[in-house]
């Protein structure tokens, strides 16, 4: 069996939703300290719906494929659904990732959560901090 599924290769070679949203409502950036890869997610939000999402990933192929798939999975969806997206769901949608590459999909889950948290922070919306990973060590919010 090939190391990577056709879906992973498709999203790696033709990533969806790549880019920047200049007037984003929320931006999340996370990094993996071990490999040094960085993922940045931009969200446009209206009435609790993610109307647009873009990403920039400076990282491995699995991280790029994970960002591409994850952005597709949350586009047009309510914030609550984006918050519920797990890295396992992203990996599953990619028809699997090799075990040693599963951590790459974690970046996607964390970057989305960081972007939602940034949206709440910017808009003074109260939230339960426990629903966000303790990423003080791994992500930085944009001003
Ligand atoms: Fe770093 Fe994949 S090896 S995110």
Give pLDDT < 70 ranges for the chain. 1, 134-143
End-to-end CA distance of the chain: 45
pLDDT recorded at residue 132: 86
Q: How many residues are present in the chain?
A: 143
Pick the CATH number of 6-121 from 3.90.1010.10, 3.30.470.10, 3.40.50.1100, 3.40.50.20: 3.90.1010.10
Q: Provide the whole-model pTM.
A: 0.92
Q: Which among 39, 70, 102, 103 is the best mutation to test ligand 1's pocket, defined by most ligand atoms within 8 Å of the CB?
A: 103
Write the CA distances from 71 to 11, 17, 51, 68, 126, integer angstroms: 11, 7, 11, 5, 24
Give kind and range of the element (H or E) at residue 55.
Answer: strand 49-58
Q: Is the CB of 107 under 6 A from ligand 1?
A: yes
- State the Cα–Cα distance between residues 14 and 88, nearest whole angstrom: 21
Q: Are 41 and 112 in contact (CB under 8 A)?
A: yes
Q: Where do the domains of the chain lie? A: 6-121
Catalytic (active-site) positions: 35, 104
pLDDT recorded at residue 135: 55
Q: Is the CB of 20 under 6 A from ligand 1?
A: no
Supply the residue whose CA is at minimum distance from atom 4 of ligand 1. Answer: 104
Q: Which among 55, 104, 109 is the best mutation to test ligand 1's pocket, defined by most ligand atoms within 8 Å of the CB?
A: 104
Structure-token pair, residue 39: 């993922």
pLDDT recorded at residue 143: 37
Tracing tokens 């994850």 back to the chain, one arrives at: 70
pLDDT recorded at residue 81: 97
């Amino acid at each position: 069996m090939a190391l990577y599924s056709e879906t992973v290769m498709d999203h790696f070679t033709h990533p969806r939703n790549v880019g920047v949203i200049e007037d984003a409502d929320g931006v999340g950036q996370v990094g993996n300290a071990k490999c040094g890869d960085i993922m940045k997610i931009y969200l446009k939000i209206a009435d609790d719906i993610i109307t647009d999402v873009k990403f920039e990933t400076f990282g491995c192929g699995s991280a790029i494929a994970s960002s591409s798939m994850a952005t597709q999975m949350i586009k047009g969806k309510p914030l609550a659904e984006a918050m519920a997206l797990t890295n396992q769901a992203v990996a599953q949608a990619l028809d699997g990732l090799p075990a040693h590459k599963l951590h790459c999909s974690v970046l996607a889950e964390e970057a989305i959560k960081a972007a939602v948290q940034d949206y709440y922070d910017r808009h003074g919306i109260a939230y339960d901090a426990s629903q966000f990973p303790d990423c003080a060590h791994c992500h930085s919010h944009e001003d």
